[in-house]
Structure 1
Amino acid sequence: MKRRAFLLGTLVLTACGTSEPSGTIRIAGGEPGGFYHDFAALISRLSPGPLTITPIQTGGSADNLRHLREGTADLALTLSDSAHLESGLVALGRVYENYLQLVVLVDSPYRTAADLVGKPVSLGATGSGAALQGERLALGVQEAHYPLRNAVDALKAGEIAALLWSGGVPTPELDRATGIRLLPLDGFLPKLRERYGKVYERVDVRMGVYGSSADVPTIGTPNLLVCRPGLSAEYAGAVVRLLVAKAAELVPQQALGTQYLDVRSLIDTGRVPLHPGAAAEYRRLHG
């Protein structure tokens, strides 16, 4: 069945009596305070019956893919641009969208990304999707790589001029850090799309988020839940049933009001093909 045909219909949310496999599978999530970490915790808590999904704390997309390569995780959350750099991946679904956020203090003199040239800026934690995107933005800054909590502390202390973060909006760690604002990043979009394709798209951080008085245009990137082709069809199908049946509950707090898990777009995984077991389960649920 073609993906377009899926999107024209409504997925059936019942498992039709399918029994769940038993066992434990591990999901590589992210750093505390981030979207991946929260999503991994939710899918772990909601895992059905005899199947246990155990979250692993990581540095983000690139680190998650390393866990898959090394066999220390069975599932991984990753930005789609990071996934494109890895061979042999298959997807279980597209989940949400990450917003690239370039954060400065509200009273700083910086108004555009160009104002940061030569300044110390944290471009995401080592192994994160933000680190890859910061490299592709080529901001011309003095690069540092802090986990989010450390980056916020460094920003407040004046040790860095800005931090780059890729996550949901509002990200709780940033929402608690009063006295911040975002710089627009949409001006980088044409060059990014020309070089890397339509994996990047314009999104707006809405007025009121982090106390802003207007929408801030930035760059969005889809998140994928991926695995290796060797994951059993039984496990792949069980995860798909969980994504579909618990869509309304698999929404991290930082995504409420701005994003939701849309069962119609779960199969829209772009250049990363669906796991055969996942594709079969989507067909079965579609009816």
Structure 2
Amino acid sequence: MTPSTTPSRRALLRGLLATPLVAGCAVGAAPPLALAAGEPGGFYVEFGELLGAALRAAGLPVAVVSTGGSVENIEQLRGGRAALGLALTDIALAARIGQEPFGALVPLQAIGRVYENYMQLVVRAEDPATGTADLAGRPVSLGAVGSGAAVFGDRLLAAAGIAADVTHRPLRDAVAALEAGAADALLWSGGVPTPALAELAARRPVRLLPLIEHLPQLRSRHGGVYGPVTVPADAYGPAAPVPTVGVANLLVCTPALPPATAGAVARTLVAAAPDLVPESALGTQYLDQRSLIGTGEIPLHPGAVAAYRELHG
């Protein structure tokens, strides 16, 4: 998807379904469901707010909650503080099998695969670094505590075989540190362009380091959750396309979510898809109808399965 083709895709999606979203679903009077999203300035919150508005319009009250990211979102689901959450596939899989950073397995299920996250390793434009290895021993912010980027950052350094002076700052703080010279790089996992990074690029030149060279090692160690993606040219100012690592983002829940509610959310993802794509989005990362059910090793919630079968046969 490029800015020139976005309108036609949205027009196509709008015409796909006219099915009532919550027919037969007595959830209108329920208290608001918490949707654990992500950090201010990132796409988790932006997408979460759009989804929350669509769900409320469909009669399903939802409150969007800012969090540190995927790990915290899953912890909120496990503790019953959230009903829905956004999570990277690699983090969701770690939760399903009880792998670190989770002390025990979390029986996650998915409502759908909603968009592609791009791993973005950002440096100042004048920095001499050309790859991850050039950051050895230097101050680097590898995502906020509780984020999927923080987990991926550890995996990235291990794959690259280097150590760095690592901190874990929230996105806004990491941007400020990079701009002030307190950090030489920041790692972010999100859509393109991420609002806070676009704002930074408008103030001072930055660029992304390619991460694709580490994909074979990452896949060897952590499976097929990671894949090749390319940050489009000019995403953050004049620059060539940058090959990097991508991982799908899922909308997840636990088996405690009632089937009728899961079905209503799934129908909203399908029928409201054109309204869930931020206007600034580049690339092909959002709500592809063909991949919505492609949640990999994270099983779909039975209520979502029933909804998709009803809609598509």
Q: Fold match, TM over 0.5?
A: yes
Measured against aligned partners, the alpha-carbon deviations of 1:50-88 in whole angstroms (never above 9, x if no partner) come to 311110110000010010011100001000000011131
Q: Distance in 2 between matches of 1:38 and 1:254?
A: 11
Counterpart for residue 54 of structure 2: 46
- Are the aligned partners of 2:263 and 2:307 in contact in 1 as well (CA < 8 Å)? yes
Could you tell me which amino acid in structure 2 is paired with residue 113 of structure 1?
Answer: T
Residue of structure 2 aligned with 1:93, choices 96, 112, 118: 112
Could you tell me which amino acid in structure 2 is paired with residue 211 of structure 1?
Answer: G
SS of 2:304's partner is helix
Going from structure 1 to structure 2, the CA distance change for 1:79 and 1:95 (only over 3 Å counts) comes to same
2:266 equivalent to 1:243: no
- Of all paired residues, the percent bearing the same amino acid is 53
2:64 equivalent to 1:55: yes
Residue of structure 2 aligned with 1:193, choices 216, 219, 236: 219
- Are the aligned partners of 1:14 and 1:285 in contact in 2 as well (CA < 8 Å)? no
Normalization by structure 2: what TM-score?
A: 0.85
Could you tell me which amino acid in structure 1 is paired with residue 71 of structure 2?
Answer: A
Counterpart for residue 168 of structure 1: 191
Q: Distance in 2 between matches of 1:257 and 1:85?
A: 27
Going from structure 1 to structure 2, the CA distance change for 1:197 and 1:153 (only over 3 Å counts) comes to same
Q: Distance in 1 between matches of 2:219 and 2:262?
A: 31
Could you tell me which amino acid in structure 2 is paired with residue 228 of structure 1?
Answer: T
Report 1:204-223 matches (<5 A): 204-223=230-249
SS of 1:192's partner is helix
Counterpart for residue 172 of structure 2: 149
2:55 equivalent to 1:32: no
- Are the aligned partners of 1:28 and 1:58 in contact in 2 as well (CA < 8 Å)? yes
Q: Distance in 2 between matches of 1:186 and 1:50?
A: 43
Report 1:263-274 matches (<5 A): 263-274=289-300
2:200 equivalent to 1:177: yes
SS of 2:286's partner is coil
Normalization by structure 1: what TM-score?
A: 0.93
1:255 is displaced (CA, Å) by 2.4
User: Unmatched 5+ residue regions in structure 1?
Assistant: 1-9
SS of 1:279's partner is helix
1:134 is displaced (CA, Å) by 0.2
Q: Distance in 2 between matches of 1:107 and 1:31?
A: 28
Q: Distance in 2 between matches of 1:72 and 1:56?
A: 10
Q: Distance in 2 between matches of 1:128 and 1:74?
A: 18
User: Unmatched 5+ residue regions in structure 2?
Assistant: 1-12, 97-106
Could you tell me which amino acid in structure 1 is paired with residue 264 of structure 2?
Answer: A
Q: Distance in 2 between matches of 1:140 and 1:81?
A: 22
Q: Distance in 2 between matches of 1:198 and 1:74?
A: 27
SS of 1:132's partner is helix
SS of 1:86's partner is helix
**Aligned-pair Cα RMSD in Å:** 1.6
- Are the aligned partners of 1:168 and 1:254 in contact in 2 as well (CA < 8 Å)? no
- Are the aligned partners of 2:232 and 2:283 in contact in 1 as well (CA < 8 Å)? no
1:212 is displaced (CA, Å) by 3.8
How many residue pairs get aligned? The number is 278
